[in-house]
Amino acid sequence: MPINRREFVGLAAAGSLAPWVHAHAADAYPSKPITLVVPFTPGGSVDNSGRLMADRLSRELGVPVIVDNKGGAGGALGSAFVAKAKPDGYTLVVASQSTHVVNPAVNPNLPYDAVKDFAPITLIDRLANVLLVNASVPVQTFADLVKYAQANPGKLNYASAGVGSVSHLSMELLKTQARIHVTHIPYRGAGVALTDLLAGQVQLAWNNLSSNLPNIRNGKLRALAVAAPQRVPQLPNVPTFAELKLPDLNLTSWTGLAAPAHTPDVIIGRLYSAVRKVLQDPATQATWVERGMMVPEDVKPQAYQAEIVERIKFYQRIAKANNIVIE
């Protein structure tokens, strides 16, 4: 609604100008390109999710959404960059379990606060996690794995994306709850770990489905269980951890959008609505499923924030029980 000079002065004198400014800023938003920071190098699952959403969000918002990969320090460099950015809605980050849950749970020296320095928007996707074995391992089911590992303690190795990673913490929880002994081999990233898993240098790994679906389909890897609310359509014969009576392991990973803290609520609301509209498109949903991703439920900004807080506490308990900390 237009406002004349006299009304403007009156609002300013009454201290009531801030809501008007925020409302009109939202009316004009977005009016220029948006930078979407992916805090990892190109090619991984977080980058994939960010690019798929950026393309569709550009069309929905009517301005370019430009992906900027700022990898390094396990996602900390790019996340810190966004935490310090101007809170105007033009610099966003692709948040992930690594940057906003597990890193804060194990690293007390991060250059950002995953809760206080960001305004969560909503989820881009959920990703089923999957317990993988090299096809040469003589097990066909999760029960087979437990039996084999208990009969051969220490014979199996598992790869992780590094000390304190989602894969490391999840496998340590699995070891405790399944009462098996397998040896941890940390790598510098999931890509290198996958290479050695495929080569048989290590026998087990925990990773997201989207990154590993091609190698499951071609028979090089075998999926023994998935962490998802229900069996995933891509692997209908593979049980969930809930079915295996291991509900603590049945957590999906996710990627989402977040802005710097203090971004106006109206801008957060505009972005939330745009993402939800993108995700309701049948073509988008088909692409997500084909890529091994799950279309997320409607997670509002406040609920997203609450999930981040809850999961940080969950992984802190696992890290403490296993003396896992990154200094």
Phi and psi at residue 51, to the nearest 5°:
-70, -40
Q: Report all structural domains of the chain as residue ranges with CATH numbers, in order of start.
A: 32-127+253-321 (3.40.190.150), 129-249 (3.40.190.10)
Partner residues linked to 65 by β-bridges: 34
Q: Determine the Cα–Cα distance for residues 31 and 41; give it in Å rounded to an integer.
A: 28
**What SS3 state is found at 112?**
coil
Measure the CA dihedral 170/193/164/70, to 10°. Answer: -120
Contacts of 216 (CB under 8 A, 6+ apart): 130, 132, 222, 223, 235
In the predicted structure, residue 233 carries a pLDDT above the cut 60: yes
Q: Are 160 and 186 in contact (CB under 8 A)?
A: yes
pLDDT in tens, 39-59: 988 888 899 999 999 999 999
Residue 307, both tokens:
């999930």
pLDDT band at 208 (very low <50, low <70, confident <90, very high): confident
pLDDT band at 6 (very low <50, low <70, confident <90, very high): low
Instruction: Please give the share of the chain, as a percent, with pLDDT higher than 70.
Output: 91
pLDDT in tens, 103-147: 999 998 999 999 999 999 999 999 999 999 999 999 999 999 999
How high is the pLDDT of residue 86? 98
Per the listing, tokens 């026998």 go with 203
Predicted TM-score (pTM) of the model is: 0.85
Name the helix (H) or strand (E) containing 6.
helix 5-13
pLDDT in tens, 267-277: 999 999 999 99
How high is the pLDDT of residue 14? 58
Q: At 51, which amino acid appears?
A: R
